[in-house]
Amino acid sequence: MDIKEYIDKNRERWFEELFSLLRMPSVSAKPEHKDDMYRCAKRLTELLVEAGADRADVYETAGHPVVFGEKTVDPSARTVLVYGHYDVQPPEPLDKWLTDPFEPVIHDDAIWCRGANDDKGQLFMHLKAFEYLMRTGQLRHNVKFLFEGEEEIGSGSLPAWVREHKEMLASDVILVSDTTMISDKVPSINCGMRGLAYLEVTVTGPNKDLHSGHYGGSIANPVNTLCDMISSLIDDDGRITVPGFYDDVVELSEADRAQLARAPFSQSEFNEFLGIDEVKGEKGYTTMERIGIRPCLDVCGIWGGYTGPGTKTVLPSTAHAKISMRLVPNQDGATITRLFEEHFRAIAPKSVHVDVKAYESGNGFLIPITSEAFQAASRAMADVYGVEPVPSRGGGSIAILAEMQRILGIDPLLMGFGLERDTIHSPNESYLLSQFFAGVRSLALFYGYYPAKAQAMM
């Protein structure tokens, strides 16, 4: 049975299975969802075994559990290690959702739900491509599945777990669907991602909230001070002012930049999609370069004082911000975290106290586009989309992949089928059905093109 026919016969069951995962609010950032994380991990082991895995188990960690399953068809064959994550971003702001964030609905040819794409929807494609190959007797590779529950909060527990289970995880390629492609007309394969350093800063002025009339003007307001400090972190050229920040950044050659510039991009469509009049970023780089090959610093959240309706004339005691820095290959996440922390403390005026908390950090990485795995992925996607995929550099981070690449000595391969329209991490996350099915087909074809055994040396 060819895959299109198989999809037609099974799609309703597949949706039911996927929806059972989507309905679980597996928000890793919130302690109150700890039980949901376990339920979701457990459900994945059931789905893995139903799809044909020899076994699938929930592994406890210091944080949220890891799911691991495997199917051995031939000990001498190559092994594909599928990585995905079942945790999702918090759904807030809730008032912006048009539907319940944890009740999937199919509408406008897409699935709408938190996690519909990132990453429950994308990891589910792997389960179904595997199921198809198993049921039709076509699977030639050994397959291992590793699904973690902490990707959205920095994969804190996974490196230790991977080191501990290094032998069990031995394989030839780490296959991942957790990224986007340029568009459904212009398929692309990610050949590099950015690293991440994420911190939370707190500025404390007076030791209690004060009446803004009785004190205003006479002491440092921690919100104003935090604004001053954040403002000073990026200069007029859009460069980050943390000393040493750019020391390890590798400047791309003009040739490399020209190669990257071949990917189709419309600045006006980009602006229109975002509803902005003008872009802003580091001087001397294009929008695609600013996303793909340059580091950046963004405030992901800020709060302090009275934020309810109406007015409250308060001079707050504290102000807080969550700050993320995206890093490029060769920048070390831990080093950047340390440099930021030192700098932020150094620029604090004596009129306030500053606290810095480092949440997570990870490195960027590059993937060799000449490998057999990359070439197999490229052929598979060319078959499905009718055009050769473009190698691209995504701006996001999957910090754990750089770690796994280092610990296991295996390169990742990023076959991502998300689109920017899916607005992952935002309200109304969705995943196009056409991309979901194209993903299942591309993955099934990948196993066809990727040699099951090492080629004999010529």
Structure token pair of residue 389: 């995929």
- For residue 112, state whether it binds a second copy (rule: CB under 8 A): no
Nearest residue (CB) to a second copy, 350 versus 370? 350
Question: Is 307 near a second copy (CB under 8 A)?
Answer: yes
Segment near a second copy (CB under 8 A); pick from 5-13, 88-96, 102-110, 368-376: 88-96
206 touches 229 (CB < 8 A): no
Q: Are 45 and 127 in contact (CB under 8 A)?
A: no
Please spell the DSSP secondary structure of 74-117, one letter per residue: -TTS-EEEEEEE--B-----GGG-SS-TTS-EEETTEEESTTSS
What residues numbered 142-201 form the site for a second copy, per CB under 8 A? Answer: 152-154, 180, 193-194, 196, 198
* Residue 207 in the binding site for a second copy (CB under 8 A): yes
Q: What does the alpha-carbon distance between residue 385 and residue 186 come to, in Å, rounded to a whole number?
A: 8
DSSP 369: T
Quote the least distance from Cβ 338 to a second copy, whole Å.
18
Residues forming beta bridges with residue 360, ordered by sequence position: 198
396/439 with CB nearer a second copy = 396
Q: Which of residues 213-242 bind a second copy (CB under 8 A)?
A: 213-221, 223-224, 226-228, 230-232, 234
Q: Taking the C-alpha atoms of 228, 233, 238 and 242 in order, what is their torsion angle to the nearest 10 degrees?
A: 160
Which is it for strands 110-112 and 430-432: parallel, antiparallel or unpaired? antiparallel
Closest CA relative to residue 400, chosen from 146, 171, 200, 191: 146
At 144, give phi and psi (nearest 5°). -120, 145
**Dmax of the chain from CA atoms?**
84
Q: How far is the CB of 249 from a second copy (least distance, A)?
A: 12
Between CA 343 and CA 315 the distance in angstroms is: 26
The distance of closest approach from Cβ of residue 118 to a second copy in the complex, given in angstroms and rounded to an integer, is 8
Q: Determine, following the binding rule CB under 8 A, whether residue 202 of this chain makes contact with a second copy.
A: no
Q: Work out the number of other CB atoms within 10 angstroms of the CB of residue 158.
A: 25
Check residue 268 for interaction with a second copy (CB under 8 A).
no
Q: Which is nearer to a second copy, 52 or 90 (CB)?
A: 90
Q: What is the DSSP string of 235-272?
A: -TTS-B-STTTTTTPPPPPHHHHHHHTTS---HHHHHH
Residues 202, 324, 330, 405: which binds a second copy (CB under 8 A)? 324
Q: Which is nearer to a second copy, 137 or 214 (CB)?
A: 214
Q: Which of residues 36-65 bind a second copy (CB under 8 A)?
A: none
Binding mask 1-40 for a second copy (x = CB under 8 A): ---------------------------xxxx---------
Of 138, 15, 141, 156, the residue nearest 85 (C-alpha): 156
Choosing from 75, 137, 275, 386, the residue that interacts with a second copy (CB under 8 A) is 275
Total residues in contact with a second copy, by rule CB under 8 A: 100
Binding segment toward a second copy, per CB under 8 A, in 165-173, 249-257, 280-288, 433-441? 280-288
Of the two residues 275 and 409, which places its CB atom closer to a second copy in the complex?
275
Site string for a second copy, 392-431 (x = CB under 8 A): --xxxx----------------------x--xxxxx----
Using the rule CB under 8 A, give the single segment among 13-21, 46-54, 307-315, 441-449 that binds a second copy.
Answer: 307-315
